[in-house]
Amino acid sequence: MLRWLLGGRDVQEPVEKSLVLCIGDEQLQNPYTELQVLKGHSDIVRFMAWIDDLRFASAGDDGVVFVWNVQTGERVHELRGHSRPITAIAVFPSIHHLPPENRQLLTASSDKTVIIWDLHTGSQIYSLMDFQSSVKCLMIIERLDVWLSGADKVCTWNCQAELLCKTACFKDADVSSMIELPKNSIATAVRKDIVIFKLTPLSSESQTWEIIEMRRLSNHEDDIRALISVNDNTFATGSHVGELIIWDSLDWSVRASESQFWNSAQQSDKPAEIKISLTPNQHETCIHHLSSDRENVFAAIGTGIYVYNLQTKTVIAYQQVAHDSRVLHIAKLPNNQLVSCSEDGSVRLWKLQELPPAEPATSGYCTSYVICIGRFKVQVLL
């Protein structure tokens, strides 16, 4: 059985809002000796996707996709069909009201193919091989019964793997990631820019679609490495040099309420710009991946995991050495669980526990969090 390590002791004293906690600093030995590691991959693990309450998938440079039972750690399926590293994965949640056992998985690879898998049998349903470059991102829009692929262009497909429409090719760049925005809009990351597209059905009878470029946002100073939807009104991007930008999902502007951050990682007395470096180690500034629970943004930076709170605009906790090598992907699971994967080939399971409100020293409401990583849990009062 997988064991969620809840730690050996509590920190009872309230922590000031400006203090950033480095979880597990007092543990001198390997903090992961009691944590079950899910083994099977023979190369770097780069992606994970949540399937349902019992399963998630992992994939990476060995070209193999493993489907895991999250309760027992058992390997449910071993999906082999790509000849080169996996570059993107996505799950059909419940298209056409499919039950959980019949959900489908999309995988893309640097072999310039996309495969649609039956997650009940582990067999291939469709295999697409007409791409001119590697597909680096996949996105499913369930309410429209379509999915999109991002490479040297953005393509829109139906559930039968038929091409509906596509953009023009990007010059000297590929789409690295994309997310859905309100009003059938799509945000894509192309080098330093966020390119906003509008997806419009022209005819419901003929299934004719159109995708139009609406705007380019050029606020980052370096290549964008992470793009996520935080909630209905907000999305976030992270760059190679550690910049984090919070955007408005409706008008595509930098949100005014988030125009300044306190660089809590360095405990600066000056308000920083909206672009901040989340890690004190300047040699590990690249934000490899972002995840969110609508209130916090979880950032994979170097070998560490950082928790950034949107309400307080501070890094409330971090583990600078969460893996032996760079953390490449973080996924938010149910029940405040996190799963992370790394260049070291391991998949690690974490727990973020929210406690009832503590009694504050002064009047006013206080929210308490416990970040459980390794053997210790640390209480954070916000």
* Lookup: tokens for 304: 């560490």
Give the residue with greater pLDDT, 171 vs 282: 171
Helix (H) or strand (E) holding 236: strand 234-239
What average pLDDT does the segment 339-365 reach? 62
Q: Of 8-17, 279-288, 320-329, where does mean pLDDT reach its minimum?
A: 8-17
Indicate the DSSP class of residue 254. Answer: B
Token digits for 261?
């951050």
User: Of 40-44, 143-147, 260-264, which gets the smallest average pLDDT?
Assistant: 260-264
366 pLDDT higher than 80: no
Lowest mean pLDDT among 4-8, 42-46, 273-277, 354-358: 4-8
Find how far residue 85's CA is from the centre of its chain: 19
Scored b (16 or more CB within 10 A) or e, 281-295 reads: eeeebbbbbbbbeee
More confident residue, 200 or 96: 200
Q: How far apart are CA 332 and CA 127, in angstroms?
A: 29
Q: How high does pLDDT run on average in the chain?
A: 75
Tell me the pLDDT tens digit for each residue of 106-141.
999 999 999 999 998 999 999 999 898 999 999 999
Cβ neighbour number for residue 258 with a 10 Å cutoff: 17
Q: Retrieve residue 68's tokens.
A: 């895991």
Q: 144: how many CB neighbours lie within 10 A of its CB?
A: 16
Q: Is 160 helix (H, G, I), strand (E, B) or coil?
A: coil
The percent of residues above 70 in pLDDT, for the chain, comes to 70
What secondary structure does DSSP assign to 293-304, as a single string?
-SSEEEEEETTE
Q: Using 50, 70 and 90 to split pLDDT, how confident is the model at 293?
A: confident
Q: Which of 5-14, 121-130, 146-155, 365-374 is predicted least confidently?
A: 5-14
Specify which of 216-225, 248-257, 334-343 reaches the highest per-range mean pLDDT: 216-225
Find the mean pLDDT for residues 197-213: 82
